[in-house]
A and B are shown apart, each in its own frame.
Chain A
């Protein structure tokens, strides 16, 4: 069965520090991969997505993610975190043969000034 795991429920980083949020998936074929962010009281916003091609994907707000097929991972990174990045981050995976996207449980990010 398809599944998405985000091993870290909560992460705290200092402002200016680097960030890496982990995402692992279990899918049969080449997946579509997404990272969404949800700020308090807000809907979800797409940060970046991977469909094919270059495995390093650039997104909005200075985020990037790398698709590693051998590790079934799609980790999100940011070199320098800002206080406004505090939010809930969701990894999501879809597959061409299915008309639905599965979301991971989310990682809550806190940023210390």
Chain B
């Protein structure tokens, strides 16, 4: 089985722009979660989607949004980028939810200039 894939792997944007990151889960997995990883804050939960519905959301501003498609692929969008949004964004998939084993993708490294 192919693992979790994330595109793009690297991204450079400037302040004020918006960005869309993509995540393709392992085949058969219906839960997709997104995390932000920074040296200062560590791994922080952004949100989780299951069957195209957001089930839970972390403590991030509304500039961070996501969606999930019928094939379980997920996208996250960050609007009006700030310097502090520079981070590694990780996507994880599991069969039904975060309480199971989550399989992580390699991440998208976003640099905001």
Contacts and interface: CB of A to CB of B under 8 A. Distances in A.
B4 A106 contact: no
Contacts of A96: 99
Given A43-B4, A43-B90, A90-B43, A98 B104 contact: no
A98 B56 contact: yes
A46 interface: yes
Contact of B45 (A46, A51, A101, A105): A101
Contact of B56 (A100, A103, A106): A100
Interface string B29-59: 0000101000000111100100000011010
B107 A43 contact: yes
B90 A101 contact: no
Contacts of B45: 100-103
Nearest to A51: B99
Interface residues of B, number: 23
Interface size class on chain A is 20 to 34
Interface string A14-48: 00000000000000000010001000011111100
A43 B103 CA distance: 9
Interface in B75-113: 90, 92, 97-99, 101-107
A46 B101 contact: yes
A45 B44 CA distance: 16
Given A43-B107, A44-B90, A45-B104, A99 B48 contact: yes
A100 B48 contact: yes
B49 to A, nearest CB: 11
A106 B90 contact: no
Interface in A61-111: 90, 94, 96, 98-106
B104 A94 contact: no
Contacts of B35: 103
13 contacts: A32-B99, A43-B4, A43-B90, A43-B105, A94-B98, A98-B56, A99-B97, A100-B33, A100-B56, A103-B43, A104-B42, A105-B42, A106-B43
Interface of A: 32, 36, 41-46, 49, 51, 90, 94, 96, 98-106
